[in-house]
Structure 1
Amino acid sequence: MSGNYLPRNRAAEWLGRAVLGLLGWRVEGQLPALDKFVAIGAHHTSNWDFVIFIALKFVLRVNVCWFGKHSIFRWPFGRLMRRCGGIPIRRGQQDNTVEQAVQAFAEHREFILVLSPEGTRKKVERWKMGFYHIALGARVPVLLAALDYANRRVFIGPVFWPSGDVAADLARILEFYRPFIPKKPEYAFYGD
């Protein structure tokens, strides 16, 4: 799985560790030894989630791609966001994002896509299921990862293989996330 890992960059690793350390965060769990998977991070309720994600990316030296709202890719940060694996998308437009992601998995021997199922930092009534349809279409598992603000930890959990029964699979995924407390618990979706 060497292609999913970035060359050693001591400055980036130091920065990632420094950020996590200053914020009092730790990492629990390990990335799976797989060449391809979709990783979901939940619950996404704060801009701090992104800071922790980038710090984690630097610490783990993992080469990941992620979708972000097109407006965060403007100057002066656009180039940096793309260098960190960001892919701008325009929400609300039907641009076949799922199909494009499935194609990207088909075209690469090694590929990790990180998504937030909420798709926003605000309260949502349901998760966006693009992550699920991408994994199902690409025939790759979903890595479940959580931000646990109550215990200041990033928890890298198990991989989950979609069965095609969306309702049953979503119920199992949401059950995994139930014990983890986000920055703004009132925004978290648990399927209730």
Structure 2
Amino acid sequence: MGNRLNTPILSADIPRMGNKFSCWLGASVLKMMGWRFCGEFSRHAKMVITIAPHTSNWDFVIGIAVALNLRLKITFFGKHSLFTPPFGPLIRRLGGIPVERSKAHGVVEQMADAMLNADKMVLCITPEGTRSRVECWKTGFLHIAHKADVPVFLVAFDYKKKQIEFGPSLFIGDDTQYELNRIYTHYQAVQAKFPDKVATHVVPTGEKD
């Protein structure tokens, strides 16, 4: 199983959950869809994981399969409308937190404080915030990582290569546009499910998108 998927070995410091069955289920989904892992997983006990590009509902399916296969305990945001029956309780159990987009700023502050106070926490975020094309990604994840003094671990779903690509890890400074440019540059080499929905424009420092 591990050889075929190239499944990485996770550090003992990483928060874990699940069992042999959930691990098998995640691996089976990834195999069936033809995906494999590439790179090493971060060893940090607390981190913000960015998953990009995000253009399809299949990204969520792959992401959950990855978490199950790695037995990785994650926390992630989702539209509050997703948390209604019958799937709401399952999404919460998988680590989902319902969010109303109109109150995003408060969520950023609360999540940063939660990470500061936690011993272990892996927060997964799609920077676009939507499957539709957006010209400038949301920056809340950068503020969370900076305030909590945790790295941003870049994870890419490359549909052309059928690879879940891990790394690098970036510690975030005060210059939000500079940090966003670094992340844009990394993801420009990745092919999304729907490439025409991707906008990763590097903006010169001092200018606005």
Q: Quick check: TM above 0.5?
A: yes
Distance 1:132 1:148, change over 3 A: same
> In structure 1, which of residues 41, 48, 60 is the aligned counterpart of residue 58 of structure 2?
48
Residue 189 of structure 1 pairs with residue 196 of structure 2: no
Aligned-partner SS, 1:151: coil
Q: Per-residue deviation at 1:189?
A: 1.5
Distance 1:95 1:133, change over 3 A: closer
Distance 1:95 1:132, change over 3 A: closer
Q: Per-residue deviation at 1:70?
A: 0.5
Q: Per-residue deviation at 1:93?
A: 2.7
Distance 1:18 1:101, change over 3 A: same
Q: Per-residue deviation at 1:86?
A: 0.3
The corresponding residue for 1:114 is: 124
Look up the equivalent residue of 1:67 and give its one-letter code. Answer: F
Distance 1:94 1:120, change over 3 A: closer
List structure 1 runs of 4+ shifted beyond 6 angstroms.
none
Residue 169 of structure 1 pairs with residue 179 of structure 2: yes
Q: Per-residue deviation at 1:30?
A: 2.2
Matches within 5 A, 1:78-157: 78-93=88-103, 96-157=106-167
Q: Could you tell me the percent identity over the aligned residues?
A: 41
- TM-score (ref. length: structure 2): 0.88
Distance 1:26 1:117, change over 3 A: same
Distance 1:34 1:129, change over 3 A: same
Count residues in correspondence.
191
> In structure 2, which of residues 17, 26, 32 is the aligned counterpart of residue 6 of structure 1?
17
Look up the equivalent residue of 1:162 and give its one-letter code. Answer: I
Matches within 5 A, 1:56-75: 56-75=66-85
- C-alpha distance in structure 2 between counterparts of 1:158 and 1:94, whole Å: 26
Q: Per-residue deviation at 1:94?
A: 5.2
Cα root mean square deviation, aligned: 1.2
Q: 2:14 touches 2:44 (CA, 8 Å); kept in 1?
A: no
Look up the equivalent residue of 2:156 and give its one-letter code. Answer: A
Look up the equivalent residue of 1:169 and give its one-letter code. Answer: E
The corresponding residue for 1:178 is: 188
Look up the equivalent residue of 1:99 and give its one-letter code. Answer: E
Distance 1:3 1:145, change over 3 A: closer
- C-alpha distance in structure 2 between counterparts of 1:3 and 1:145, whole Å: 16
Task: Specify every segment of 5 or more residues in structure 2 that has no aligned partner in the other structure, as ranges.
Answer: 1-11, 203-209
Between stretches 179-188 and 28-37, larger displacement belongs to 28-37
The corresponding residue for 2:30 is: 20
Task: Specify every segment of 5 or more residues in structure 1 that has no aligned partner in the other structure, as ranges.
Answer: none
Higher relative contact order (CA 8 A, sep 6+): 1
